[in-house]
A and B are shown apart, each in its own frame.
Chain A
Amino acid sequence: MTSNMCKPVGSARAGDHCCLSFDSDAEQRDVVAAYVRDGLEQHDKVVYFAAGEPTTVLGFLAEGGIEPGPCLESGQLRVLSPLEGFFAHGAFDPDVMVSALRKMATEALDEGYHTFRATGEASAVRTWPCFERLLEYERKVDVVYADRNTVGLCQYDRRMFSAAELRAAEDAHSVHVGPDPIYRDSLLSITRTYDPPGLRIVGEIDSSRGHIWRDALAAEAEATGDDVHLDVSGLRFVDVGGARLLARTADELGRRRCRLLLHRISEEPRRLLRLTGWEQLPALVVEER
């Protein structure tokens, strides 16, 4: 699943059985933290099935701006270790898991929560007992999430599954989600990318969006000590001011021996960089579509 076919995680709605396949911890954490945050904000019951220590999850939720303490205390948020969650009844069993989820959902709604919102790290159950049972679970759990007051997000770490397994797992989900855009309006959207690390830009950059573009580039350059990659294949228009910001960012990255790489650039923005001479900047790498 390529990331451009994904919906932003913020658009996940009750009734969705979502799949997130990610390449890096940073991507997983951004998306999952947003998913949990959205749930807590709209008074959902949030249950997290972890593959490792719950403290790890609580740690990155806190980094994502969520203060887990009060929600844990009230019971609105539960982060379950493998033994409390996936393996609460021994080896992972799809039927047992589905009925457990259904029960949790009913209880949550009885307690007055708006929606039952679950998420789980699928790598926990890849080998115990086997991948086929995980896939069987994915097909059976559709019924639970089809309920309009339930939403689920299954997390697949691409580093832990084979390409064929991933394809099968993704096919078992009706919705695929990725990061929320850093910025989005009718003209322009800017979304973080993780492999390679950088931004994906879709739409048009003119002087009315200049300040947004400037802030996004500056934040990205500041956040990394490395090269910044921009996927500009969806950049339909950029004015001189917008192109100048690219050149400035490249120049600043160059001062610390890093580069700005523009991937899959289309002809018009390319011409602008060529004519202005900014394409010659040593730290600006332009790769054609």
Chain B
Amino acid sequence: MSRALHSHGHGGVRTVAGMHAALVYSSDDEFLSLATPYIQEGLHADEQVLVVTTGTNIELLRDRLDDHAAGVDFIDSSVWYSSPANTLFAYDQYVHDQEQRTRPVRILGEPPWEDRSPLRRRAWQRYESLLNLAFADRDMSCVCPYDTRVVEPSVLASARRTHPTLITIDAEQPSTDYAEPAEFCAECDDTPLPAPPGPISEREFDAAALKSAREFVTWVADQAGLPSPRVSELVTAVNEITTNAVRHGGGRGRLRTWREDHCLVFEVDDSGRSRPDPLAGHLRPPADPHRSGGYGLWLARQLCDLVEVRDGPGWLVRLYAEVE
């Protein structure tokens, strides 16, 4: 990925194709003076401009851009950032649609960081790192604002590791802390998962028991009060993981389930395969139907609110579905 290596005096962000930058601001004025020229430059160059941020920031920008605001796609961040996997895919599709029209894309995207559990926060940090892969070599740029008034220092620290470029009111410069996505994601996947807090139901499965594992998931999800379309999605997600265990993980595995933090959790672990690739199942594999494999974990990530993979004796996969 090529990066903008440029320092600037006042206002403006120097962009090049493929740029992924963290924009660190501490006031509305700083936000506007950095974000506005970035957007204006895109409009001027006839790029497709997408702005996903808080309702407050959208109002500030609309006000400042005035008539030009009509040329910008504004989306409220509380709607857009549903789950890391869904958001990654939504950006991918958005850029893909514009690629069909050979139109460059310029994104200003600010994920919400407040009120996230440590598990969720890490998943969104990993997502920021994965954007570097998703956006590599594409005709686009992406700037992610971080509001120092609300985000914790640890979030800012990880932004420096997940963005090749850092923009502040003083300078635009390469991030010396930047870590390659494979390295950063591996670190995320090394963080231990909390022990299940409550009662656990569990069962063993093998190739002949995929159907009964699906019935088990259906029953548990029904009991948890999930609506029927959500139950079907979970059944599909868990079935892909149990299928992977049967095919690549020693032919059998264990399926466990419990409630944790407003979530229904399913955990699948198998007994025999090598350490998971930290990048597995994050980016959609090519649609070529003659390629085999690669889709199951990606699909599970799409269908659940969160999926975590850990290295155990085999693979250990936890799938989270929010329950209200």
Other-chain residue from A239, A248, A281 in contact with B240 (beta carbon distance below 8 A)? A239
Q: B54 interface residue, CB < 8 Å from A? A: no
Contact B299 A207 (CB under 8 A): no
- Interface SS majority for chain B: helix
Within 8 A of B (CB), among A13-34: none
The residue on B at minimum CB distance from A284 is B289
Most buried by B among A207, A268, A271, A272: A207
A244 contact set on B, CB distance < 8 A: 289, 292, 295
Check if A206 sits within 8 Å of B287, measured CB to CB.
no
Question: In which size bucket is the chain A interface?
Answer: 20 to 34
A208/B299 contact (C-beta < 8 A), A237-B235, A239-B240 known: no
Q: How many chain-B residues does the 8 Å CB contact rule pick out?
A: 24
Quote the shortest CB–CB distance from B132 to chain A (angstroms): 22
Q: Which residues of B contact A207 (CB under 8 A)?
A: 207, 210, 243, 246-247
Beta-carbon contact of A268 and B290 below 8 Å: no
A276 with B299: in contact, given A239-B239, A248-B289 (CB under 8 Å)?
yes
Chain A residues within 8 Å of B289, by CB: 244, 247-248, 250-251, 278, 281
Considering residues B233, B240, B295, B299, which has the most beta carbons from chain A within 10 angstroms of its beta carbon? Answer: B295
B259 at interface, CB cutoff 8 A: no
Known: A207-B210, A207-B243, A268-B236. A277 touches B284 (CB 8 A): yes
Q: Which residues of B contact A146 (CB under 8 A)?
A: none
Chain B, residue nearest A186 (CB): B211
Tell whether, in the assembled complex, residue B207 and residue A240 are in contact, meaning their CB atoms are under 8 Å apart.
no
B272 within 8 A of A: no
CA distance A240 to B240 in the complex (A): 7
The answer on a CB contact under 8 Å between A240 and B295 is yes
**Which residues from 238 to 296 on chain B have a C-beta closer than 8 Å to any C-beta of chain A?**
239-240, 243, 246-247, 284, 287, 289-290, 292, 295-296
Q: How far is the CB of A262 from chain B (nearest CB, A)?
A: 14
Mind listing 7 A-B residue pairs with CB under 8 Å? A204-B211, A208-B211, A237-B239, A239-B239, A244-B295, A268-B233, A275-B302
Q: Chain B residues in contact with chain A, CB under 8 A?
A: 207-208, 210-211, 214, 229, 232-233, 235-236, 239-240, 243, 246-247, 284, 287, 289-290, 292, 295-296, 299, 302
| 5 tightest Cβ-Cβ pairs between the two chains A and B | A247-B289, A277-B287, A248-B289, A240-B295, A268-B232
